[in-house]
């Protein structure tokens, strides 16, 4: 998604794609984090303002929206809004224009035009990205039903789903990533105030990932189950990568969506008390990878998380080394007709439930060219045959179409609303 025009502390988006193969990783497909290795500033700027993380900037404008291929930030704010009754197409256009101007300023480390509460006044841009999506209901509410993509059909019900409609779906969606929590919260608050009278907040969730620089060298992070999570995402250098992630006009994909994508959101609670009651070797068999280094079961010592997965390997007793219901076996693209998604997952921990168990897990985000060929068939298989599913509860869901990137002077959704 980042191949366009502006620099990010010395990197162009096109240059980033050229080097991304060194660091774009994913892992446990129940929601792994796509992470691209990024040379963030190594030291504070000479004028003393903005530390290494604070100075990193991601341009808002480009061929694709930022926040899809960029390195995963340390913090995320996810939110959905519902359009006000009577706002219609003109109201939506005005809102998206306001949001786009705001996003361009905030991602550059500048204060918002209006409603800036100075929460992030002394911070740099901190790799801030704002990525916008449209829910299926928006097209009816804005008089755009004829332009709704066929692939934006509702996701089917999956076995084991326990979805709360109040914490999912929505007309408008935004993913706000940043390496500083205050920067992300500030951006959401400004968007909310700029939407007043046109759209109201429906739900929001906050998540976190490993802070860049927290380890001696770049490495894939772990989820709340303690698993290295992010070892098998598609990479921009792979053949057919763009066709898996970005929509192209043709068949039943509308021309206005060219360069855009589809985003599936799932709030997945992990049953951590049950999981942590398992011995480590049993946890490894559920996933199909060693906890110590993320290597697939059966790989030699020191092989690491990127060692080839041998699904045919057998032990001395003739049993499969990677069990038949292991997550990496059931989720493998080869077992799902080649279906693939670009996943960016964040952990969440929202305290305790009434029974004392942790309200914690994964905010799963997956970008793909067509959810009917990506998320839906994979999740259908996982929900029926994945040993990991016994330790997960899908509690909220959303499907959104993500418009293409924004040109200088334009606004998100312009190809839809002006086409």
Catalytic residues: 229
E strand spans, 102-221: 129-135, 172-178, 199-208
Cα–Cα nearest to 149, from 255, 266, 263, 241: 255
Instruction: Please answer whether residues 34 and 24 qualify as being in contact, where contact means their C-beta atoms are separated by less than 8 angstroms.
Output: yes
CB 371 within 8 A of CB 155: yes
* Tokens describing residue 115: 């409603």
Find the distance separating the first CA and the last CA of the chain, reported in whole Å. 22
Under 8 Å between Cβ of 178 and 187:
yes
Contact 344, 33 (CB under 8 A): yes
Closest by CA to 130, choosing from 84, 193, 182, 173, is 173
Q: How far, in Å, CA of 160 to CA of 172, rounded? A: 27
How far is Cα 365 from Cα 268, in angstroms, rounded to an integer?
11
Q: Encode 246-278: b = buried (16+ Cβ within 10 Å), e = exposed.
A: bbeeeeebbebbbbbbbbbbbbbbbbbeebeee
Strands 172-178 and 7-8: unpaired
CB 200 within 8 A of CB 206: no
Which residues lie below 8 Å from residue 168, measured CB to CB, with a gap of 6+? 80, 203, 265, 267, 396, 397, 398
Query: Alpha helices, DSSP H only, in 277-393?
Result: 280-287, 327-331, 375-385
Q: CA 188 to CA 171: how far, in whole Å?
A: 16
Which DSSP category does 155 fall into? P
């Amino acid at each position: 998604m980042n191949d366009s025009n502006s620099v990010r502390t010395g990197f162009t988006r096109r240059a980033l794609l050229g080097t991304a193969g060194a660091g774009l990783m994913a892992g446990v497909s129940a929601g792994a984090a796509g992470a691209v290795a990024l040379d963030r500033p190594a030291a504070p700027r000479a004028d003393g303002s903005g530390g290494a993380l604070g100075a990193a900037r991601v341009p808002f404008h480009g061929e694709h929206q930022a926040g899809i291929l960029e390195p995963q930030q340390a913090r995320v704010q996810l939110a959905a809004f519902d359009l006000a009754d009577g706002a219609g197409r003109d109201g939506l256009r005005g809102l998206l224009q306001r949001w786009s101007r705001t996003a361009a300023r905030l991602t550059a480390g500048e204060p918002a035009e209006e409603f800036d509460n100075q929460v992030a006044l002394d911070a740099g841009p901190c790799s801030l990205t704002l990525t916008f999506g449209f829910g299926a209901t928006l097209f009816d509410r804005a008089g755009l039903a004829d332009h709704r993509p066929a692939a934006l059909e509702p996701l089917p019900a999956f076995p084991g789903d326990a979805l709360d409609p109040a914490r999912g779906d929505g007309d408008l969606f935004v993913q706000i990533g940043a390496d500083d929590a205050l920067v992300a919260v500030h951006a959401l608050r400004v968007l909310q105030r700029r939407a007043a009278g046109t759209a109201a907040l429906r739900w929001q969730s906050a998540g976190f990932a490993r802070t860049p620089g927290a380890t001696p060298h770049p490495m894939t992070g772990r989820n709340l189950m303690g698993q290295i999570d992010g070892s098998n995402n598609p990479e921009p250098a792979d053949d057919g990568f763009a066709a898996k992630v970005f929509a192209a006009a043709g068949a039943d994909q509308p021309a206005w969506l060219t360069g855009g994508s589809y985003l599936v959101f799932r709030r997945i609670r992990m049953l951590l008390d049950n999981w942590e009651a398992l011995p480590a070797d049993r946890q490894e068999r559920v996933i199909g990878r060693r906890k110590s280094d993320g290597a697939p079961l059966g790989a030699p010592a020191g092989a690491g998380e990127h060692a080839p997965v041998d699904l045919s390997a057998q032990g001395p007793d003739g049993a499969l080394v990677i069990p038949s219901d292991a997550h990496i076996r059931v989720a493998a693209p080869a077992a799902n007709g080649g279906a693939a998604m670009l996943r960016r997952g964040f952990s969440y921990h929202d305290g305790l439930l009434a029974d004392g168990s942790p309200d914690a897990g994964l905010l799963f985000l997956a970008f793909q060219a067509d959810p009917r060929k990506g998320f839906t068939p994979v999740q259908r298989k996982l929900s029926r045959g994945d040993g990991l599913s016994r330790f997960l509860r899908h509690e909220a869901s959303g499907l959104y179409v993500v418009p293409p990137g924004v040109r200088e002077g334009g606004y998100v959704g312009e190809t839809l609303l002006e086409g």
